[in-house]
Amino acid sequence: MVNQTKTFNTHKNYIDRSHLLTEQTNELSKNLDMLTSEELVKLFCSEDIIPQQAVANAAKEISIAVDLIYKRLQFGGRLFYLGAGTSGRLAVIDAAECPPTFCSSPELVQGIIAGGYSSMINSSESLEDDYSLGVKDLKAKEFSSEDCLVGITAGGTTPYVTNALAYSKSIKALTIAVACVPSEQANLISDIDIRLITGPELLTGSTRLKAGTATKMLLNILSTSVMIKLGKVYGNSMVDVSASNKKLIDRSIRILNRLLGVDKNKCMKLLEASDGSVKLALLLGSSNMSVNSAKRHLEKHGNHLRPALESIGESLVD
Average confidence (pLDDT) per 10 residues, the chain, 318 residues: 52 67 89 96 97 98 98 97 96 95 95 92 75 95 98 95 98 98 96 97 94 98 98 93 86 94 93 92 94 95 94 86
Residues 6+ apart with CB under 8 A from 118: 1, 124
- Half-sphere exposure of 96 toward its Cβ, with a 13 Å CA cutoff? 10
Distance between first and last Cα of the chain: 50
> Which listed residue (61, 97, 146, 184) is catalytic?
97
Length of the chain: 318
Residue of 89, 141, 136, 82 lying closest to 112 (CA atoms)? 82
The DSSP result for 291-308, as a single string, is HHHHHHHHHHTTT-HHHH
**Model pLDDT, residue 10:** 53
Residues 6+ apart with CB under 8 A from 171: 143, 144, 145
Domains in the chain: boundaries = 16-229, 246-310
CATH of domain 16-229: 3.40.50.10490
- Amino acid identity of residue 291, one-letter, is V
CATH of domain 246-310: 1.10.8.1080
Total-model pTM: 0.89
Residues 6+ apart with CB under 8 A from 294: 274, 280, 283, 284, 287
| 310 given a catalytic annotation | no
**Model pLDDT, residue 8:** 55
* DSSP reduced 3-state for 188: coil
CB atoms within 10 A of CB 2: 15
> Which listed residue (23, 61, 128, 201) is catalytic?
128
| 142 given a catalytic annotation | no
Angle between helices 278-285 and 291-300 (to 10 degrees): 110
- Alpha-carbon distance 276 to 267, whole Å? 11
Edge-to-edge strands of the sheet including 174-179?
A: 109-113, 79-83, 148-152, 174-179, 192-195
Residues 6+ apart with CB under 8 A from 69: 79, 148, 174, 176, 222, 226
* DSSP reduced 3-state for 249: helix
Q: Are the C-beta atoms of residues 110 and 80 closer than 8 Å to each other? A: yes
**Model pLDDT, residue 12:** 57
* DSSP reduced 3-state for 280: helix
CB atoms within 10 A of CB 33: 7
